[in-house]
């Protein structure tokens, strides 16, 4: 056992759980907890049971102190599914022995999943005779004012969006301990679970899912909300109908929210962040488009494009590195789909697509082309993306070199040929029906050279015009 040191401070642990500890101090405490058994026991007593620290330690082990991530950012990187990190002792007894317990007016049948901020339970609503999904804030997060505010914000953000590709919110009880919100029960699995189970997706399924995600994002953006945590774990796939639903708006902010512009604050899942998120810069709706590009890449490649051993290394790759070309990993990916993902992955937000509506429409038309390639052509916007300007530049350079060679050759030939006086007639020993040719200074090799030069010049200008698009 490690010896107790002067860094052990119960009050600091309380402040950490309450979300009142400065970010710099959070990093110091997190590192101290990795080596101090006594303080870990204190945390377990203050916050949760013994399993909680093991999960939290694993999440914190990859967080570099320079990243600026807060304590709750580390908590969010806990596994999406698995055994709950806390017991379900907050449930009231149920009259039905087949049930796990009761939460408010809902009978709880089973646990659906466990994430960083909460546990999702399957419940039954007797009043409306339907199954529901009840998301309960983790008790150790419920002790934090920041955790409770974020949980309520998720409910408010999702409730503001009424759309077929966004999970609706039926009710929320912020005064219950721990707080919980009620959503429709969606039979199926998350995109992350599907990826883990089957690996990479084919092109048609990728387009279909991506189009619905973009449509859901467009609905959120129309309400002025930026999701900021688009990832496979927050995309639900409804069984049988394969409808796609966006969930977990816990990081959502109104586009004009002052808290959105705070620099140095990193919130989200590192592998799916945009560069501006990773730097803690101001973000807008286009940050979700970058994350969508990462989701599409992951679906086609079978893994995230920005993998690394630590959170800091991931953020550095997001900001500075270009992912490996998709077609090198999966040769079945069409060139035009790789071009779409590349545009979504533009480091500068201004170089991405304008909005999620544009992306949704584009993916829908591409899906129609894949399903009926002889009847539906690819959109012109996609064809323009495939026409790589670099390729056109290479052709332009080749054409220029050829033109210069042709001009030089013509000059050499014209210099070595004998010139003829204006009125001189050149007669040759031809048959009787031979033509007589007259050549003058005004109509000689110079005129042919001038014409050729003009043709080349017009060709070059046309290539330059095309390259601009």
Q: What angle do CA 203, 209, 211 make, to 5 degrees?
A: 95
* 8-state DSSP, 266: B
**Residue 441 in contact with residue 423, Cβ under 8 Å?**
no
> Is 229 one of the catalytic residues?
yes
Quote the longest CA-to-CA distance of the chain.
122
**Residue 289 in contact with residue 362, Cβ under 8 Å?**
no
The order of strands in the sheet holding 130-137 is: 101-103, 106-114, 118-125, 130-137, 180-184, 171-173
**Residue 355 in contact with residue 285, Cβ under 8 Å?**
yes
Residue 231: enclosing H or E segment and its boundaries? none
* Interacting residues of 462 by C-beta distance below 8 A, sequence separation 6+: none
Beta bridge partners of 426: 437
The pair of structure tokens assigned to 432 is 């009787």
**Catalytic residue (choose from 55, 73, 229, 248):** 229
Number of helices (H), then strands (E), belonging to the chain: the values are 18, 13
Q: How far apart are CA 462 and CA 469, in angstroms?
A: 12
Q: How far apart are CA 469 and CA 386, in angstroms?
A: 11
Active site residues: 229
């Amino acid at each position: 056992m490690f010896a107790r040191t002067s860094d052990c401070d119960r009050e600091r642990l309380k402040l950490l759980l309450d979300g009142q500890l400065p970010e710099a101090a959070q990093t110091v405490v997190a590192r101290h907890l990795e080596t101090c058994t006594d303080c870990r026991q204190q945390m377990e007593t203050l916050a949760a049971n013994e399993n909680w620290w093991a999960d939290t330690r694993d999440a914190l082990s990859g967080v570099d102190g320079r990243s600026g991530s807060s304590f709750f950012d580390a908590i969010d990187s806990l596994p999406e599914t698995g055994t709950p990190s806390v017991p379900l002792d907050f449930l009231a007894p149920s009259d039905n022995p087949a049930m796990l317990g009761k939460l408010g007016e809902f009978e709880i049948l089973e646990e659906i999943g466990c994430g960083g901020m909460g546990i999702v339970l399957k419940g039954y609503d007797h009043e409306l005779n339907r199954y529901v999904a009840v998301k309960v804030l983790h008790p150790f997060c419920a002790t934090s004012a920041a955790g409770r505010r974020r949980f309520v914000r998720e409910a408010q953000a999702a409730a503001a969006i009424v759309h077929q590709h966004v999970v609706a919110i039926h009710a929320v009880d912020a005064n219950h301990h721990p707080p919980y919100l009620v959503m429709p029960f969606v039979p199926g699995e998350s995109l992350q679970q599907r990826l883990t189970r089957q690996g990479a997706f084919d092109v048609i399924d990728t387009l279909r899912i991506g189009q619905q995600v973009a449509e859901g994002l467009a609905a959120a953006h129309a309400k002025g909300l930026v999701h900021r945590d688009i990832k496979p774990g927050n995309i639900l796939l409804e069984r049988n109908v394969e409808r796609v639903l966006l969930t977990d708006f816990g990081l959502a902010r109104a586009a004009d929210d002052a808290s959105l512009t705070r620099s140095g604050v990193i919130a989200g899942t590192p592998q799916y962040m945009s560069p501006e998120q990773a730097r803690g810069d101001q973000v807008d709706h286009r940050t979700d488009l970058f994350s969508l590009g990462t989701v599409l890449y992951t679906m086609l490649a079978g893994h995230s494009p920005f993998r690394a051993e630590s959170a800091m290394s991931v953020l550095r790759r997001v900001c500075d590195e270009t992912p490996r070309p998709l077609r090198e990993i999966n040769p079945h990916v069409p060139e035009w789909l790789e071009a779409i993902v590349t545009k979504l992955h533009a480091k500068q937000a201004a170089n991405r697509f304008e909005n999620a509506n544009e992306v949704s429409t584009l993916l829908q038309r591409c899906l129609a082309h894949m399903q009926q390639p002889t009847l539906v052509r690819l959109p012109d916007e996609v064809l323009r993306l495939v026409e790589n300007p670099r390729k056109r530049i290479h052709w332009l350079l080749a054409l220029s070199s050829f033109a210069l060679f042709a001009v030089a050759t013509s000059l050499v030939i014209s210099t070595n040929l004998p010139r003829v006086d204006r009125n001189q007639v050149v007669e040759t020993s031809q048959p009787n029906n031979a033509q007589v040719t007259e050549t003058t200074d005004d109509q000689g090799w110079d005129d042919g050279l001038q014409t050729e030069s003009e043709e080349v010049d017009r060709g070059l200008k046309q290539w330059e015009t095309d390259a601009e698009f």
